[in-house]
Amino acid sequence: MLQLKVIREEKKRILDGLRKRNWNAQQLKVIDQILQVDDQRRNNQNELDNTLAENNKLSKLIGQMMGQGKKEEAEALKLQVANHKEKVKVLEDQQRTIETDLENLLYSVPNIPHKSVPRGKTPEENKVAKDWTKPFPVLPEDAAAHWDLGKKYNLFDFELGVKLTGAGFPVYRGKGARLQRALVQFFLDEAVKAGFEEINPPLLVNEATARGTGQLPDKEAQMYACDLDKLYLIPTAEVPVTNIYRDEIVSIKDLPIKMTAFTPCFRREAGAWGAHVRGLNRVHQFEKIEIVQIVHPDESYKTLQAMIRHVAGLLNKLELPYRILKLCGGDMGFASALTYDFEVWSAAQKRWLEVSSVSNFETFQTNRMKLRFRDENGKIELAHTLNGSALALARIVAALLENNQTPEGIKIPKALQKYTGFKTIE
């Protein structure tokens, strides 16, 4: 959620930013609407406060008169207060309505892209920030895609998942399951080594938490919900982990706060199914190690770079070819100010697979979450939040299997061997 103050004071920058997200004139009107409702809000609040102030004064007077035994005068004042009460009620109702309207309007506006974000409408217009310059793995003519490899070596079973749950819920087994666990352990160890505190959060969250990171309102269709208990299955660990600090004022000394968590992620992916989603490319449940940072606003872009280096380091250790994209205005997530995507090369499918997304949200999440810190002078300021996948499993598994297939079986990268306990899947 954007800060009202910023919209008021930097309207031009806000409008320019939204244009970068390809907002048209019609859509941009919402900004004026926000300013208008905000005026209403302030006027109404002013009137309400003044009325209440008067009541408070009168009430005090009544108390004094009662004490002095001036009963009749007190009764007269009571009538006055009673009149005001009607007015207060109306003003309070109005205020509530106005505030809800304003909040809903604010919720509908995405974050303002960082100045370095390229213009563009579609994923094709993302900029390659770092390309893969070495040769790609060369596979034999009859190289198999991961879904066939999974069958051949009995690593995972989609049909079985359908039987148990539905499409998009693979069952991993044998070395396939072990490979999952190895990756989880590896990624977590690396994150902890990099100074992130390991968090093991709940997988179901309440409404306030889903709201804090921006899943609600609007994106409920992307989450699985437990209606009976009004809980949501997390689409990413970002949700519970970032919300740990919701409604908190931390000391500047506590920054940066670095957290990592391994969780399964549940995504309905409503309407996202198409030609390219076979096998592990897109599933409803997958495992992911997330890294989250809460930092001083002056540090957040430096931090973003550090997080990118961390993710790149993981891919290097896994010996996977990857490239880094800087997302264009049209492809960026709602809450992000700047996002880098990591894609690994899937040699058998001959395409790039997105395996990580690292973003700086600046104050977009912290404003809505009221996550603040006290600076050197004791002043309270919104912190910046960042997060990134480090990494998501399903597609990493897909790429590992495909790229490392040989006639003798699938080779496990060196860094992973101590976690898998085997060097080859045959």
Q: Which residue ranges make up the site for RNA (CB under 7 A)?
A: 4-5, 9, 38, 41-42, 45-46, 48-50, 52-53, 55-60, 62-63, 66, 78, 81-82, 85, 249, 372, 374, 377, 379-380
Q: Could you tell me the smallest distance in angstroms from the CB atom of residue 228 to RNA? A: 12
Residue whose C-alpha is closest to residue 368's, from 330, 334, 331? 334
- Omega before 140 cis (within 30°)? no
According to DSSP, residue 382 is labeled E
Report the alpha-carbon distance of residue 384 to residue 363 in Å, rounded: 5
H helices within 23-120, ranges in order? Answer: 25-68, 71-107
Q: Could you tell me the smallest distance in angstroms from the CB atom of residue 207 to RNA? A: 12
Q: Closest CB to RNA among 73 and 426?
A: 73
Q: Could you tell me the smallest distance in angstroms from the CB atom of residue 375 to RNA? A: 11
Q: Could you tell me the smallest distance in angstroms from the CB atom of residue 53 to RNA? A: 3
The two counts, helices (H) then strands (E), for the chain are: 13, 19
Angle separating helix axes 25-68 and 71-107, nearest 10 degrees:
160
According to DSSP, residue 146 is labeled H
In this structure, are residues 325 and 129 in contact, taking their beta carbons and an 8 Å threshold?
Answer: yes
Q: Could you tell me the smallest distance in angstroms from the CB atom of residue 202 to RNA? A: 12
Q: Closest CB to RNA among 4 and 194?
A: 4
Report the alpha-carbon distance of residue 405 to residue 149 in Å, rounded: 9
Q: Could you tell me the smallest distance in angstroms from the CB atom of residue 111 to RNA? A: 18
Q: Closest CB to RNA among 13 and 121?
A: 13
Q: Closest CB to RNA among 145 and 255?
A: 255
Q: Closest CB to RNA among 50 and 406?
A: 50
Q: Could you tell me the smallest distance in angstroms from the CB atom of residue 377 to RNA? A: 7
Beta strands in 162-284 (DSSP E): 171-172, 197-199, 204-205, 225-226, 231-233, 249-251, 257-266
* Rg for the chain, CA atoms, rounded: 27
Q: Closest CB to RNA among 7 and 401?
A: 7
Q: Closest CB to RNA among 350 and 370?
A: 370
